[in-house]
Amino acid sequence: MEHRINPQVKQLQISGIRQFFNMVTDEKDVLSLTIGQPDFPTPDHIKDSTKAAITQNKTSYTHNAGILPLREAIAHFYREKYHVSFEPTNEVIVTVGASQALDVTLRTILSPGDEVIIPGPVYPGYEPLIRLSGATPIHVDTREHQFKLTAELIEQAITENTKCVLIPYPSNPTGASLTKKELGDIAHLIYKHRLFMIADEIYSELVYTQSHHSIGQFDIIRDQTIIINGVSKSHAMTGFRVGYILAPHWLQKHMLKVHQYNVSCASSISQQAAYEALTTGKNDAHPMRDAYQKRRDFVYQKLQELNLASYLPDGAFYYFIDVRHLQQDSFSIAIDLVKQAKVALVPGSAFSAYGEGFLRLSYAYHLDTLAEGLNRMETFLKKP
């Protein structure tokens, strides 16, 4: 019967990140710097609010779009932090993580034959969702542009089939961010070609040397813009599975139908926790961000000592390390590191063909762990 299932599903592969992580899980004494998950616990006040929600029997279905206080908190959070305005009553949807938010968005706007422009290298979760919608991802090589998808690069990739552009900044796997001017140039291009703009801003609270700029602040494309975010990275709440969509009302009402038939609503308990996170805990990310910056700087110094070229990340918690000089494919290098040095990094090929020749190192780990992992890498690189 397998031949009768959706051929798009049959062609999908498990994420290269997870494939590699699962492959090395059974290796003994391996120090892993692979997974992009905060190593901080969820703040206590959020955990307390979660317990209270259960005790108070807030365990029923909610409005399909999410409880109104949470949608109001999301709208206020974006106005205060990023100068972006969406109406909580009809322009916000609470989702089961940012991944479901992306799925709902893409299934709402895409039709078979459409094309979606995305940067390369890029997080591997976008391409499968685009293909499941019958559309085609168009990767644009950003390696010679500091891993930034610029207006010029986008314009070169636009065809008559282009439906939307997806910008995921700060970026996984590169840590790159876009400036306000760069976003403005993109906004005018999107307006000119009447395209949809999807901005995945899940790392928006983890930006170091500049404030995060959202493309949602450009009114010229307000009716074309969809913003995806959530509390997983900003509040160390990956297991709560709360994301959200900000979109103009004319589009949100159609997204809500897809969301409704997909999951009905996000977990009522997790929504209460997210409300606490975005109100009382609206600045919870700051101490985590400061710790990540110290780790970023520590890793950068060590990489420089090892003569490993890497773009200095503006945000998120990843280094994308250039290992092309080793003259092996990234998967083979990653395997050798596991077998010979007992340290695991993700091969760049997991992030599209444009990630080949790189390794992704996550610095969402304690400084002691990072130091040991880098020492093991140094031993490997200096071996005869």
Residue 157 gets which letter from DSSP?
H
Range 157-161, long-range pairs (CB < 8 A, 24+ positions): 157/117, 158/117, 158/193, 158/195, 159/115, 161/113, 161/114, 161/115, 161/136
Tell me which of 254, 278, 302 is where a domain ends: 278
Same domain, 269 and 341: no
CATH number of the structural domain spanning residue 305: 3.90.1150.10
Same domain, 290 and 251: no
**What does the alpha-carbon distance between residue 245 and residue 106 come to, in Å, rounded to a whole number?**
12
Q: What is the pLDDT of residues 32-63, one digit of tens each?
A: 999 888 999 999 999 999 999 999 999 999 99
What b/e string do you get for 215-224 counting C-beta neighbours within 10 Å, with b at 16 or more? bbbbeebbeb
Mean pLDDT of the chain: 95
Same domain, 139 and 269: yes
Same domain, 26 and 149: no
Tell me which of 252, 278, 304 is where a domain ends: 278
49 is a domain residue: no
Identify the H or E element spanning 76: helix 68-82
CATH number of the structural domain spanning residue 143: 3.40.640.10
- Split at pLDDT 50, 70, 90, the class of 10 is confident
| Structural domains counted in the chain | 2
Q: What is the pLDDT of residues 353-374, one digit of tens each?
A: 999 999 999 999 999 999 999 9
Q: How many C-beta atoms surround the C-beta of residue 159 within 10 A?
A: 8
Q: What range defines the domain where residue 331 resides?
A: 2-42+284-381
**What does the alpha-carbon distance between residue 186 and residue 244 come to, in Å, rounded to a whole number?**
23
Query: What are residue 347's phi and psi, to 5 degrees?
Result: -60, 140
52 is a domain residue: no
- Is pLDDT of 285 > 90? yes
**What does the alpha-carbon distance between residue 96 and residue 99 come to, in Å, rounded to a whole number?**
7
- Is pLDDT of 384 > 70? no
Same domain, 319 and 264: no
What pTM was estimated for this model as a whole? 0.94
- Split at pLDDT 50, 70, 90, the class of 263 is very high
Tell me which of 278, 311, 338 is where a domain ends: 278
**What does the alpha-carbon distance between residue 35 and residue 84 come to, in Å, rounded to a whole number?**
31
Contact 359, 377 (CB under 8 A): no
User: Tokens 């206080």, residue?
Assistant: 69
Contact 376, 343 (CB under 8 A): yes
Computed from CA positions of residues 190, 90, 249, 139, in that sequence, does the dihedral angle turn out positive or negative? positive
48 is a domain residue: no
- Is pLDDT of 226 > 70? yes
